[in-house]
Structure 1
Amino acid sequence: QRLERWAQLLEQDPGRRLVALAGTEYTTPDVREKMRSAGSPITVAFEDPIFRAQGLRDDTYGEAKRFFELSDWQLHEVVCHCHVGASLPARWAASRVRAAISPGSGILAWLR
């Protein structure tokens, strides 16, 4: 339900340019947990008063991973710059969040 709400929040302004996080897959876990960028897809979630009331404490990578119960790979797919460059439209981030809702679909799931 949280992931669905996050996707809906992103879809409210589908053309909004969001900032991607750089190199999440190359940093150590300690550094990755603290990563953030103002205006990222995680920021959109943190701007939501309902998520904050449910316990979302900030807009860091580690907090999003904890709050949304995502793996590093899943969150990387949503926020990392390696797929889109320095910025991405909110609609693209929403589609990546939706992909995390049903990770059992797509070619990679078929190959497993």
Structure 2
Amino acid sequence: MKHQTLDHLQAIAKVEPLSRYPIMSRQQRIERWAELLEKVPERRLRALTGTEHLKREARDASRCEGSPISVAFEDPIFRVQGLKDDSYGEAKRFFELTDWQLHDIVCSCHVGTAFRGEWAAARVRRTIGGNKLLNWLRGKMWH
């Protein structure tokens, strides 16, 4: 294979980056998720039920139409960044959250069966800051 400079390649072919969007950091992804939820503050979202009682495989596969995770998956930028679906496990992986953090955002035991977009945004943002020691301890206690 012959090495070509980018200038030479652009002269003979249309060269485009793989993505028009720069790779986002964890904090940027979480902040964008909160912003998406705030766009429609009165939007009624649905909660996942009993995530803390499910075995890992079932918890990771769980999803709910109209959840905060579904709002994230509707975003084309998140899909380009690698969000594959609107399941609990995929949100945990993509947003780099612990089970405890994601449970706190989406589980019905914290939010009831339905809640507003602006409220979900506040819970998502809390994962960026909050009490780091308490979050660490909760993560250690999660099964």
SS at match of 2:127: helix
**Structure index of larger Rg:** 2
Q: 1:25 pairs with 32, 39, 52, which one? A: 52
**Partner Cα separation in structure 2 for residue 100 and residue 86 of structure 1:** 21
Q: 2:129 pairs with 102, 108, 112, which one? A: 102
SS at match of 2:115: strand
TM-score under structure 1 length normalisation? 0.92
Alignment of 1:70-109 (within 5 A): 70-104=97-131, 108=134
SS at match of 1:88: strand
Give 4+ residue runs of structure 1 displaced > 3 Å after superposition.
none
**Partner Cα separation in structure 1 for residue 44 and residue 102 of structure 2:** 18
Please report how far the alpha carbon of residue 105 of structure 1 lies from its aligned counterpart in structure 2 after TM superposition.
Answer: 6.1
SS at match of 1:101: coil
Larger RCO (CA under 8 A, 6+ residues apart): 1
Gapped regions of structure 1 (runs ≥ 5): none
Aligned to 1:62: 89
Q: Cα RMSD over matched residues?
A: 1.8
2:37 counterpart of 1:10: yes
SS at match of 1:95: helix
Please report how far the alpha carbon of residue 87 of structure 1 lies from its aligned counterpart in structure 2 after TM superposition.
Answer: 0.8
Aligned positions, number: 110
Please report how far the alpha carbon of residue 85 of structure 1 lies from its aligned counterpart in structure 2 after TM superposition.
Answer: 1.3
Kindly provide the amino acid, as one letter, of the partner of residue 32 in structure 1. Answer: R
SS at match of 1:39: coil
